[in-house]
Amino acid sequence: MSKLGDAGVVKLLLGTADSPKLRESVTKAIAGMKGEGINDALVESLKDRNLRKAAIQASIARGCTEAVPDLLKLVQDKDPDVRKEAWAGLATLADGEAMNSIMEILVEIKRARDLSYAEEAFKKVFYRAENRSKCFKVVASHYGAATEATKGVILDMGAATGDSNALKLVRDAMESGNRELYARALRALAKWPNESAAEDLLKQARSASEMVDRIVALRGYIRIAGMEKAGLTGAERMKMLKTAMGLAKRNEEKKAILAILPRYPYPQAMAIAERLRQDRTLAAEADVAIEKMKQNTVSKTIKATASINNGNVKNALDGNIGTRWDTTRPMQPGDWFMIDLGIERMVAGLTLDAAGSRGDYPRGYEVYVSFDGGSWGKPIVSGKGTKPLTVIKFPRPVRTRFIKIVQTGSVPGLFWSIHELKVDVR
């Protein structure tokens, strides 16, 4: 049917859609039409009570945004099924420019079912808006006339906006004296997308009357401290985490702090982890955080060179298992990969991960160490790789700056690859 492609047959097709199965076929057919005037015919069909439901569904399928003005009228139709379909149409087709009209209708709705359709629509339109700040300003202008449930949805939108207008609305809700709105506003703050909510959360973490609210606020404060996109200096992050440590009473929040520390391996972060390590119920998580911080500290200073394909050595150190360094041809004895730790460190071993190229592990290896990158001496350890993850443990920890791994085996057709190299620093 879609091949007919003539606007003149649109109403004819819509008139045959008198069952769900036929309506689905008609919708698909009209969605695929290529002729001119199809959308105009659909909009015209919205005025026909007998064709409306099918016309709305076809408009959605075609992405017919020209239908939005008529859909804004149809959400107030006498037929509840038409109202439902019209809200579904707005949810898909309307943009931020229609938000004021949507909100004017929404705040006047009395029927619970219609309100649920309207809320679903205005949420989808908001989250799809190109300019959320502008769209939120429109939504917020109707906050006072909204039901308590809709106010809660608007507060959630504030967390997705994160600008000064949204923050003011959330603050006002917290001071409203309405317990439900306070709780919704606090949870919106805890999801805030930037650092502007940090002080509000800290205030609540310290002084909220209910323990559950203090916990929500503290977890939100910790989250912002660890947020990479937050405009915080390293010193500011460490100050926030230290403050959070002083407020944390439960292990759950202390573990949340430990989970953040490896991303910011400053000396202050190490001190926090060492302090938490004294608590035996947190020792395991603290040890993991400390080890990751050591590894991340190494990763920031480590450099590498190789006997072949030197331009891709960075791929073995980028923290991305999906990238790799490789020999670009079958592995051969004498291929080598060398790392410079930047400064002398105590090293206990290495891990070569070739899991993304399962056959490309070294069939044999020798590991050499050097203080200057020129004098190597004898290998400190040698062995054979047997699986994609090659774990090389040194007989004893060695203080060194340069480490060279020499590949000693060969396999026809298989490269030597390193997707990720980790250094066990003590």
Q: Where are the alpha helices (DSSP H) in 94-250?
A: 99-106, 112-128, 132-140, 148-161, 164-174, 179-190, 198-207, 211-226, 234-247
Residue whose C-alpha is closest to residue 161's, from 96, 247, 252: 96
Residue 402 tokens read as 């340069």
Q: Is the pLDDT of residue 313 over 80?
A: yes
Task: Please report the pLDDT score of residue 12 as a whole number.
Answer: 82
User: Which region holds residue 412: left if phi is over 0, alpha if psi is between -120 and 50, else beta?
Assistant: beta
Which CATH architecture does the domain made up of 302-425 adopt? Sandwich (2.60)
User: What is the per-residue pLDDT across 9-66, written as a single tens digit (0 to 9) for each?
Assistant: 888 888 887 777 788 888 888 888 887 899 999 999 999 998 999 999 999 999 999 9
Q: What is the residue extent of each domain of the chain?
A: 302-425
Q: Is the pLDDT of residue 421 over 50?
A: yes
Q: Is the pLDDT of residue 335 over 70?
A: yes
- Single-letter amino acid, residue 282: L
H or E stretch at 313: none
Q: How many whole angstroms separate alpha carbon 308 and alpha carbon 79?
A: 73
Residue with the two structure tokens 């919708």:
27
Q: Mean pLDDT across the stretch 383-407?
A: 97
In the chain, how long is the greatest CA-to-CA distance?
Answer: 90
Hey, which residues does 43 pair with through a beta bridge? none
Q: Terminal CA-to-CA distance of the chain, rounded, Å?
A: 72
Task: Please report the pLDDT score of residue 398 as a whole number.
Answer: 96
Which residues, in sequence order, are CB contacts of 232 under 8 Å at separation 6+? 195, 225, 240
Task: Please report the pLDDT score of residue 6 as a whole number.
Answer: 64
138 — pLDDT class (breaks 50, 70, 90): very high
Other CB atoms within 10 A of residue 101 CB: 17
Q: Mean pLDDT across the stretch 53-80?
A: 95
Q: How many whole angstroms separate alpha carbon 415 and alpha carbon 316?
A: 14
Q: How many whole angstroms separate alpha carbon 40 and alpha carbon 64?
A: 9
Residue 99 tokens read as 């938000």
Q: Which pairs from 313-316 meet CB under 8 Å and 24+ separation? A: 313/337, 315/419, 316/418, 316/419, 316/420, 316/421
Which residues, in sequence order, are CB contacts of 181 under 8 Å at separation 6+? 148, 151, 152, 155, 173, 174
Instruction: Report the predicted TM-score, pTM, of the whole model to 2 decimal places.
Output: 0.71
User: From the CA atom positions of the chain, what is the Rg in Å?
Assistant: 31
User: What is the per-residue pLDDT across 200-229, written as a single tens digit (0 to 9) for each?
Assistant: 999 999 999 999 999 999 999 999 999 988
